[in-house]
Amino acid sequence: MELSTILTNEQIQNKTRRIAYQIYETNCNEKEIIIAGINGNGFIFAKNITKILNDISDLKVVLCEVQMDKKNPLKSITTDIEAKVYKNKSLVLVDDVLSSGTTLMYGIKHFLEVPLKRFKTAVLINRNHKKYPVKADFKGISLSTSMREHIAVVFEKNKAYATLE
């Protein structure tokens, strides 16, 4: 099967910047916000959003890595910050691709064990194959793809791209 590029490095940078501005607009009255990235590409994407938020706002931005087994999300989910750090705060859960919604749904479930002031989700690519009633509040691009097609997001040192196979 042939690979086709769906997002170039420049497009990913532009979409990341737009999402960061949307997150800031939604949280402009907050003093602090938690950006929680799901391990792997979700965390890399969250780091990129955090860097832009630090440049464009005076919000205190706390970056959090969510460790979970995406193949078996029923296994224990942990974060690299304690729950008391995000309690009663505004939190954005970040992943690279929203396909079935399984990863985001279990990530959301983890954070629902602590009271939050506001909870939003952000993804770079939103596919329309949801198995769960979960949506991306902030998204870079929405694509209608077949279940057989695979989207790969690659974050390299100075370059990022997304392909459809």
Distance in angstroms (rounded) separating the CA atoms of residues 10 and 16: 10
b/e per residue, 90-117, with b = 16+ CB within 10 A?
bbbbbbbbbbebbbbebbbebbeeeeee
Range of the domain at 112: 4-164
Tell me the pLDDT tens digit for each residue of 5-60.
999 999 999 999 999 999 999 999 999 999 999 999 999 999 999 999 999 999 99
Tell me the pLDDT tens digit for each residue of 82-91.
999 999 999 9
Predicted TM-score (pTM) of the model is 0.94
**Res 1 pLDDT > 70:** no
Distance in angstroms (rounded) separating the CA atoms of residues 92 and 137: 9
Please give the tally of structural domains in the chain: 1
Q: Indicate which CATH number applies to the domain containing 68.
A: 3.40.50.2020
